[in-house]
Structure 1
Amino acid sequence: MMRRKRSTSRVLLVDEEDRLLLLCGRDPRRPGARWWFTVGGGVEPGESPIQAAVRETWEETALRIAGDRLGPLAWTRQTLFSVDGRFYDQYEEYRLARVTADEVRSMNVETEEARYGHRWWTVPELAVTVETVRPKGMAALLPGLLTAAEADTGRAPLHLGDFDEDADPE
């Protein structure tokens, strides 16, 4: 099986109440397969990860944010997965972006990319959900990132690991 190599830039959009926006994904070839994931997507040729994050945020939420509003690279992850009969070997970068209540109200998350739904999640909700959330362990990871962002520390990005989502979908 041939896996398509892909680099992505993901955005941890967090509101003033420390809630994280996640989009719902489904696989049309696997009934019932559903997961929650962060805003963001593929880095296109000639595009930087920051440019991709800004573009993807616009495409998925209709929110225009400037690249300098994105925090430093916080997490990285390598994952193998398949969706709709296509197989991927994907490198992911995650950056935090805080949004105001006015920006949340102005968002349009009824886009094609978010066609299966969206939700603002609190850390306690993430900690107890039985839903599949990617990356795994978000409830444990997010508080430290929010604290580090507030302290504006210059720590190195955390590599979350290498995963095969098809072998361990939960």
Structure 2
Amino acid sequence: MTTSTPPLREAARAIVLDAEDRVLLLRYDENGGFWATPGGSLEDGEDHATATLRELHEELGVDASAVDLGAQLAERSKDHLVGGRAVRQVEKYFLARIPAAAIDPARASQPDNIREHRWWPLADLHATAETVYPLGLADLLTGVLAHGAPMRPVVLAG
């Protein structure tokens, strides 16, 4: 039996923190409902940092000048369906500091299927029984807030 690796889909995602160290998550209804960080796939010729800023504008109406884009904190690889096609998505997660007032979903040009956005205090993120992607986000943020960005990006579970 032969198995093939699905085509690679590179993605950039933002772990968005405000001045109170709350993390911004977006809610989606598919697959039973879940919360996730903003982001999406790279466009031709785009690097991960540029894609992160573009996605923040497209999904949340954030002007790039309001974003303090920091280090890559983590990476995750996951096989899943996108538009009915199997892909191996490799996501790079970047720290982004954004004032809460800079988020304006009314200016979003591509809100996709986002149902809601919410700022989560770290304690609420640790306590929730809701599905949050990436898995391990609360623990990653606990370390980042206590010790700063990791020396090398953390590899997160699918």
Q: Same fold (TM over 0.5)?
A: yes
Looking at structure 2, the residues matched to 146 and 66 of structure 1 have their Cα atoms a distance apart, in angstroms, of 23
SS in 2 for 1:54: helix
Match of 1:8 in 2: 11
* 1:61-100 pair list within 5 angstroms: 61-66=60-65, 69-82=68-81, 85-100=84-99
User: Are 1:155 and 2:154 an aligned pair?
Assistant: no
Maintained 8 Å contact 2:67/2:98: no
Structure-2 change in CA distance of 1:114 and 1:13 (3 Å): farther
* 1:1-170 pair list within 5 angstroms: 3-27=6-30, 33-66=32-65, 69-82=68-81, 85-100=84-99, 104-110=100-106, 111=108, 112-113=111-112, 115-149=114-148, 155-161=151-157, 163=158
Looking at structure 1, the residues matched to 66 and 119 of structure 2 have their Cα atoms a distance apart, in angstroms, of 22
Looking at structure 2, the residues matched to 49 and 107 of structure 1 have their Cα atoms a distance apart, in angstroms, of 21
Looking at structure 1, the residues matched to 94 and 67 of structure 2 have their Cα atoms a distance apart, in angstroms, of 11
1:160 Cα offset (Å): 1.5
Structure-2 change in CA distance of 1:117 and 1:11 (3 Å): same
Q: TM-score, normalised by structure 2?
A: 0.84
Looking at structure 2, the residues matched to 157 and 66 of structure 1 have their Cα atoms a distance apart, in angstroms, of 25
SS in 2 for 1:75: strand
Looking at structure 2, the residues matched to 148 and 61 of structure 1 have their Cα atoms a distance apart, in angstroms, of 28
Give CA-to-partner distance per residue, 1:93-115, whole Å, 9 cap, x none. 01111122xxx223222542353
76-85 or 114-123: bigger deviation:
76-85
48-57 or 1-10: bigger deviation:
1-10
SS in 1 for 2:92: strand
SS in 1 for 2:64: coil
Looking at structure 2, the residues matched to 154 and 142 of structure 1 have their Cα atoms a distance apart, in angstroms, of 11
Give CA-to-partner distance per residue, 1:97-134, whole Å, 9 cap, x none. 1122xxx2232225423531111111111111111100
After TM superposition, which residue ranges in structure 1, 4 or more long, deviate above 3 angstroms? 1-4, 83-86
Structure 1 residue identity aligned to 2:26 = L
Maintained 8 Å contact 2:66/2:102: no
Structure-2 change in CA distance of 1:85 and 1:135 (3 Å): same
